[in-house]
C-alpha cells in the first residue's frame, strides 16, 4: 500500500473536520468513487418504501379496469416479494459495503491509499461479525428511540465507532459495542456536534444542484474517520483485541 507520513490529529470537532478536509483533498477521486458505489449499493433498499397505489403511481387508476382484481393481486404479490428482497438485501449485503467503505476512509486518514478490494473485504473475512454488529447497533439505537428520543441519540453517538472497530480491530459484535462505548466516553458531545453540523453540510450539498452531496459525504465520512483514529490514538493503551 502507498503510505504518507501521518500527522497528529486532535480528537476535537475542529481537528476532525479540518483533517477530514485534508484527506478529501488528498484522495478525492478514490473516495469519490467509493461514495458513488455506496450510493448505487444503497439504492435497492428504497424498494422497501415504495407503495404500489394510485398516490405513488397515478397511472394505476387508469389500469384498474384493464387488469382487474387478479392483476392487482399479482402486482401486490410482486410488491411484497420486492419488499422482502430489499429487507434482506439491506440486512445482509449493504452493511458489508458500508463497513468496508468506513475502513477505506480510516486508511485514507492514516495516509494509506485506499484499495477497492477493501470495499468487499467483509464478504471474505468477518462477514458474520459485520452483519451481527450492524444488527445489534441498529437494535440498540431503535430501543433507545422507543424509550425516548434522547436515549436513542445518546446510544447512536456512543456506538459511532462500532463499524470501525469491527473492520479495523477485528472485534466481535459485542466487544465492538462495548469498546465503542468506552472509547467515546468524553466525546459524546463532539460526535453529536459533528453529526448536527453534518446535516447542514449535506443540505448545502443538495442545494448545490445535488452534485455537491458527493463531496459533502466524502468530507463528513473523512471527518468521522479522523475522529475515530484520533480517539483511538489517545486511548490506545487500553484497546481490546480479540483472537483471530
**178 CB burial (10 A radius; 0-12, 13-18, 19+):** middle
* pLDDT for 104 beyond 70: yes
Please name which of 191, 201, 197 lies closest in space to residue 231, comparing C-alpha atoms: 191
- The whole-number pLDDT of residue 37 equals 96
Strand partners, 3: 112
| SS3 readout for 30-79 | HHHHHHHHHHHHHHHHHHHHCCCCCCCCCHHHHHHHHHHHHHHHHHHHHH
Cα Rg of the chain (Å, integer): 20
pLDDT digits 0-9 by tens, 150-183: 999 999 999 999 999 999 999 999 999 999 999 9
Q: Which helix (H) or strand (E) holds 152?
A: helix 149-158
* pLDDT for 77 beyond 80: no
pLDDT digits 0-9 by tens, 9-37: 899 999 999 999 999 999 999 999 999 99
Mean pLDDT over residues 68-95, rounded?
77
Amino acid at each position: 500500500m502507498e503510505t504518507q507520513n501521518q500527522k497528529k490529529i486532535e480528537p476535537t470537532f475542529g481537528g476532525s473536520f479540518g483533517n477530514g478536509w485534508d484527506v478529501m483533498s488528498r484522495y478525492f477521486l478514490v473516495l469519490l468513487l467509493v461514495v458513488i458505489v455506496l450510493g448505487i449499493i444503497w439504492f435497492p433498499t428504497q424498494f422497501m418504501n415504495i407503495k404500489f397505489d394510485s398516490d405513488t403511481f397515478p397511472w394505476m387508476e387508469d389500469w384498474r379496469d384493464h387488469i382487474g382484481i387478479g392483476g392487482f393481486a399479482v402486482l401486490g404479490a410482486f410488491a411484497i416479494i420486492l419488499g422482502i428482497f430489499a429487507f434482506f438485501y439491506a440486512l445482509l449485503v449493504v452493511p458489508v459495503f458500508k463497513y468496508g467503505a468506513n475502513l477505506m476512509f480510516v486508511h485514507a486518514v492514516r495516509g494509506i491509499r485506499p484499495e477497492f478490494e477493501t470495499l468487499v473485504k467483509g464478504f471474505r473475512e468477518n462477514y458474520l461479525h459485520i452483519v451481527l454488529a450492524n444488527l445489534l447497533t441498529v437494535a440498540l439505537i431503535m430501543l433507545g428511540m422507543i424509550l425516548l428520543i434522547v436515549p436513542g441519540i445518546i446510544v447512536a453517538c456512543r456506538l459511532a465507532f462500532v463499524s470501525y472497530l469491527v473492520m479495523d480491530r477485528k472485534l466481535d459484535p459485542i466487544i465492538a459495542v462495548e469498546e465503542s462505548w468506552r472509547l467515546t466516553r468524553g466525546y459524546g458531545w463532539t460526535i453529536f456536534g459533528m453529526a448536527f453540523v453534518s446535516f447542514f453540510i449535506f443540505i448545502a450539498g443538495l442545494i448545490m444542484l445535488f452534485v455537491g452531496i458527493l463531496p459533502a459525504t466524502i468530507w463528513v465520512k473523512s471527518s468521522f474517520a479522523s475522529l475515530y483514529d484520533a480517539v483511538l490514538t489517545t486511548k490506545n493503551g487500553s484497546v481490546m483485541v480479540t483472537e483471530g
